Amino acid sequence: MNTYPKRFKLILEFDGSRYSGWQKQDDAVTLQGTLLDAAGKLFGTQVDVQGSGRTDAGVHALHYAAHLEVQTELSPQDILKKLNAALPQDIVIIACKRAGVRFHARLNCIGRSYCYQVARQKTALARNHVWQVTAAVDMVRMREAAALLVGMHDFSSFTDRQVVKKKSPLVMINQCQVVTAGDLILFRIVGSHFLWKMVRRIVGVLMAVGKGELKVADLRRFLKEPVLLTQYTAPAQGLFFERAFYDQEELDSFLATDELKPVFIR
């Protein structure tokens, strides 16, 4: 039997409501920790699961990319079936395929897409997957502000200060969409990577612009002069990790053609 470890690329769908984010923690239930526990029971202790990026507590995913490294002779389809049987119902592996030994879900990722849902009417069934905001908003102002975010900018204002001390606050934003769909306001933000709480703060600031609490000029200032924007952090339950990209052509095609639609809640 071949005893060398193999790598598999996983695509996950999950409801993050009861998880403390992606990264494994000793004192909390996380997505990575849950996957490691399930894989360990199936394959033994010599397993590794790495994701395409961290997610905040309570954030969901539609097509989250990760890789599994394990010693096994099982086919990708058998791994998918057995892991899904071992995982709780709020985590589903929707695709599994063999990857090269040098493939790394985070290090090889060139872009990531998030979407966010704001409900303008009170909802009971979707309450764990939207931010409910019934105040009137100006969509024209919000779109004007969103356009300012595209390009390479310093996003120090959109994360916490301890994060900026550890990593560069410069992030390339490829796209920042704001559209309406019935009673929903939908956001899509595509970028090279994202800082802790960055997407939620962007949404919170854009909504504040729409409600008239902030001006478009304030957003210009936030990109030039770091300020604390804690009060504008949108709640986690409306945020979805949408896609991870590993090929420039795939990313370009997504930016050019993919239509932003409401998330289907099963």
**Which residues belong to the active site?**
56
Looking at the DSSP assignment, which residues form a beta bridge with residue 96?
10
Measured in whole angstroms, the distance separating CA 256 from the mean position of its chain's CA atoms is 20
Tell me if 32 sits within 8 A of 211, measured CB to CB.
no
Number of Cβ within 10 Å of residue 262's Cβ equals 16
Tokens describing residue 250 = 């795939």
Tokens describing residue 12 = 């996950």
Residue 210 to residue 201: CA distance in whole angstroms: 14
Backbone angles phi, psi at 52, to 5 degrees: -80, -5
Q: Tell me the residue ranges of DSSP E strands in the chain.
A: 6-14, 47-51, 60-70, 91-99, 111-119, 131-132, 151-154, 170-181, 184-191, 239-245
Sign of the dihedral defined by the CA atoms of residues 101, 107, 111, 112, in that order: positive
Residue whose entry in the numeric block shows the structure tokens 């595209």 = 150
Number of Cβ within 10 Å of residue 142's Cβ equals 22
